[in-house]
Amino acid sequence: MAVQKKFALGRGLDALISNEEIKTSGSSSINEIELSKISVNPNQPRREFDPIALQELADSIAEIGIIQPITLRKLNDDAYQIIAGERRYRASIQAGMKTIPAYIRTADDENVMEMALIENIQREDLNSLEIALAYEHLIEQYGLTQEKLSERIGKKRTTIANYLRLLKLPAPIQVALKNKEIDMGHARALLALDDPKTQIRIFNEILSQGYSVRKVEEIVKALSSGESIESGGKKITPKGAKLSEEYTLLQNHLCNFFGTKVQLSCSPKGKGKISIPFNSEADLERIMEILDSLKQNE
C-alpha cells in the first residue's frame, strides 16, 4: 500500500497518521537470532574478507560479544537475510556463537513503514530502544537533522538525542534495555563511559548486584575521574588508568612510608584520590599516629 505524497512531515502528527490507511505492524526491533536461520544477501557487493581481521573480530566477539547488532530482513518465521553486518555474522560463526543480536526489519512496504513508525512513537507501550530505532529510521529516511525531527514530531531535540545515543551502547545492553532488565537511566549513565568493555562490566554488575540508577551514576563518575572501584568483590579499573612513572614512584613512596599498600588514582585531568587501607583497629591507630606525627612536625 503506497503512502500518498500529501502526507508531508511538516504537517504534524495528526496530519501524518490516518487510522484507515495504516494497517501494518511493520517496524524495527532487536532480538537474538539463531545464526543458522540467517542467510547472506546475494547482492552484497563485498566478496572478500581479510582472514586476519576476521579472526581478530571473532576473538573480540568471543570475549565480549557483539558490540553493534547486525541488521536483518525477515523473510519468514525461520529465515532472515542480512541487510548490513555480514562481517560480524561471519566472525560470530567463527567464534562459535549460536545466536547474534540483530535489528529486524519486518515491514515489506518501506513506504508504509515510514508512516507506521510515526504512529508507533505515540504508543505508550513502546520501550526506549524501539523509540530510538524509530527516530533513527525517520532521520535516515528523510535526511533530517535532529533539530528538524524535533520540530516535526513535537519532541525536544535533547530528548531525541538521548534516545539515539542508546544505539551506541553494546548490543547486550541494548537487548537488556529492550527486555526491561535495566532502565533508561542505567543506560544513559553507562554512556558516560567511553570503553565498551567497561560498559559491559558495569552492566553485568547492575544485573548481579541490582544497582540503582543513582549507584551506577556514582560508579561511572568515579571511573571517569580515574578511580578504581570495588563491586561484588571485583576491582574495576577505568581504561587508561595506568599511572605515569612519576605517580608510580610517588605511590611506592607512600606505600613504604605508611607500611601498607596505598592506592593512588589519577585522571588525565590531574584529579585523583589516595586511599590508605588498614587491616585492624591497631593498624588504623598506627596509621593515625604517623599522620599525627606529621602534623606535630609542621
pLDDT digits (tens, 9 = 90+) for 160-169: 999 999 999 9
Sign of dihedral through CA atoms 129, 170, 233, 283?
Answer: negative
Closest CA to 203 of 221, 192, 215, 216: 216
86 is catalytic: yes
Residue with cell 513503514: 113
Query: Rounded to the nearest 10 degrees, how much is the dihedral formed by the CA atoms of 30, 32, 35, 41?
Result: 0
Using CB atoms within 10 Å of the CB of residue 147, give its burial: 0 to 12 exposed, 13 to 18 middle, 19+ buried: exposed
Residues 121 and 79: their CA atoms lie apart, in Å, by 27
pLDDT recorded at residue 25: 40
Helix axes 51-64, 196-209, angle to 10 degrees: 20
Residues 117 and 20: their CA atoms lie apart, in Å, by 16
Catalytic hit among 86, 119, 181, 217: 86
pLDDT recorded at residue 287: 85
Residues 152 and 93: their CA atoms lie apart, in Å, by 42
Q: What are the residue ranges in the chain where pLDDT is below 70?
A: 1-28, 43-48, 106-126, 238-245, 265-271, 296-298
pLDDT recorded at residue 189: 94
**What cell numbers appear for 189 in the block?**
549513565
pLDDT recorded at residue 176: 92
pLDDT recorded at residue 233: 73
pLDDT by residue (tens digit) across 210-244?
999 999 999 998 888 777 788 877 777 766 555 56
